[in-house]
Structure 1
Amino acid sequence: MKSQHLLLMVSLVCTSAWANEDISKVNGRISAEAGQSYGALDTVNGSIEIGAGAQTKSVETVNGSIQIGERARTGGVSTVNGAITLGQKVVVSGGLETVNGSILVERGSQISGGVETVNGSIGLVETELGKGIETVNGDITVGVGSHVHGGIEVTKPNFSLSFKPSRKPRVVIGPNAVVDGQLQFEREVSLYVHRTARIGAVSGATARSFDSDVAPKD
């Protein structure tokens, strides 16, 4: 009987230790099970999926999307070619970054860092963002009830990084959203700000006010 208890204890200790180890791959998908704890997750060619309530350190891939379930907790999240999607009430200790892909954060999530893309849209819904938002060619929606503690910057295209045809990004600050910092635009954008939103100083664009739930079309 004692030996059985000892084996069970050893098994539990080993499981706990393995669960907190890093997972690193070159080719292949990584899946973090719901409610489990992990170290850093890293792959080159493959997507990463994190289940609801899981805890991880940094999450990185090069060619692949990253999907994070509700109430999960992670370190910084980054990919090069792929989208980043966060469910509700996710906590990220760091930022979200992609080059070619969109970023979507659902309501109740908290991001301590910033959000950055080159070619990809950014959407926040009732999200607390500790720093700012930066993009080159992506549309930005700071959705209802979101709070961006930094600013917003849309930079000029660098053609050594982006080969997409030039287009005018669309920036929407939704109902009851707050952007504490400056809104700086180095290129032409369409900027819509809901009348209940609060923003910092704007340079490089003229804000158009709207009252409806959804911003007008360009």
Structure 2
Amino acid sequence: MKRFPLPLLLALVLPCAPALANEGISKVNGSIHAESGQVYGDLDTVNGGINVDAAAVTGDIETVNGGIRIGDNARTGGVSTVNGSVRIGREVIAAGDVETVNGSIFIDRSSQVEGELQTVNGSIGLVEARLDGSIETVNGDITVGVGSQVNGGIRVKKPSFSLSLTPGRKPRVIVGPNAVVNGSLVFDRDVSLYVHRSARIGPVSGAQAQPFDTDAAPQD
């Protein structure tokens, strides 16, 4: 049997092998940029923001001090930050929870989150988006915007402690036109709850729903 030199074999085989996905990116200090159309593993940093371009594919995304932005048509795993906001563009699929402690979360049209949305101090908003899990917050406003669907219910938890001697502002919870919230809406603290007449919601505990039929909810 004729034997081919190793360099020649590699030259013949490697061009036929499938392109390998990019590895994950991990940092302590510095931002991370995932480029459009590329495939990555997990992205994580401690001090820095994370920006995922349109149509990029990533694993889990995590930072401590920094915001996270995900472009249209991207595919990701779970998304998490502590001090920063999360903004997810259109037609994104996030295969996990989306959470922050101090920051807002916004999910744009035709996007789907396959886990839960969680924040402590920050607003949560969806527009024509789908959430497979629940929404949970302590001090933030919640807007389940026009045409959105939340399958796991809503909970606003009572703060574990307060350093203020005066009562804080009540969170606003809005379920907009043609929105659907399956599951219970549970409020462990005072909130202002507004539900559009065209919306559908599950049972409510701890608040009285105020119906409205205008494009925007009434002001408190």
Q: What TM-score, normalized by structure 1, do the two folds share? A: 0.91
Identity of aligned residues (%): 64
Q: Deviations over 1:151-210 (max 9, x none)?
A: 100000123899x97220000000000000100000000000000000000010000000
Equivalent in the alignment of 1:155: 157
Q: CA deviation at 1:95?
A: 1.1
Query: Does the C-alpha gap of structure 1 residues 161 and 105 become closer, same or farther in structure 2, counting only changes over 3 Å?
Result: farther
Tell me which amino acid in the other structure corresponds to 2:118.
E
Which residue is 2:117 aligned to? 115
CA distance in 2, matches of 1:38, 1:165: 46
* Aligned counterpart, 2:206: 204
Aligned partner (choices 77, 80, 89) of residue 79 of structure 2: 77
Q: Give the aligned partner of residue 185 of structure 1.
A: 187
Q: Whose Rg is larger?
A: 2
**Corresponding residue number in structure 2 for 1:67:** 69
Instruction: Please point out which of 57, 60, 74 is paired with 2:59.
Output: 57
Structure 1 residues 34-70: Cα deviation after superposition (integer angstroms, max 9, x where no partner): 1110000000000000000000000000000000000
CA distance in 2, matches of 1:160, 1:216: 28
Structure 1 segments of 4+ aligned residues over 2 angstroms from their partners? 159-162
2:5 corresponds in structure 1 to none
* 2: CA distance, partners of 1:94 / 1:185: 24
Residue in 2 aligned with 1:172? 174
Once the two structures are TM-superposed, the CA of residue 13 in structure 1 deviates from its matched residue by 6.4
Change (3 A) 1:143 1:165: same
Aligned to 1:132: 134
SS at match of 2:96: strand
2:41 matches 1:39: yes
Rate the CA distance shift 1:161–1:45 in 2: closer, same or farther, 3 A: farther
- CA distance in 2 between counterparts of 1:45 and 1:108 reads 31
> Which structure 1 residue ranges, 5 or more long, are not aligned?
none
| Number of residue pairs aligned between Structure 1 and Structure 2 | 212
CA RMSD of aligned residues (A): 2.4
1:80-123, Cα deviation, whole Å (9 max, x unpaired): 00000000000000010000000000000011001000000000
1:118 to 1:161, Cα distance in 2 relative to 1, 3 A:
farther
Residue 161 to residue 127, structure 1, CA distance change in 2 (3 Å): farther
Alignment partners' CA distance in 2, 1:160 and 1:177: 33
How far does residue 22 in structure 1 lie from its aligned partner after superposition?
A: 1.0
Q: Which amino acid aligns with 2:177?
A: P
Letter in 1 for 2:93: V
Letter in 2 for 1:130: D
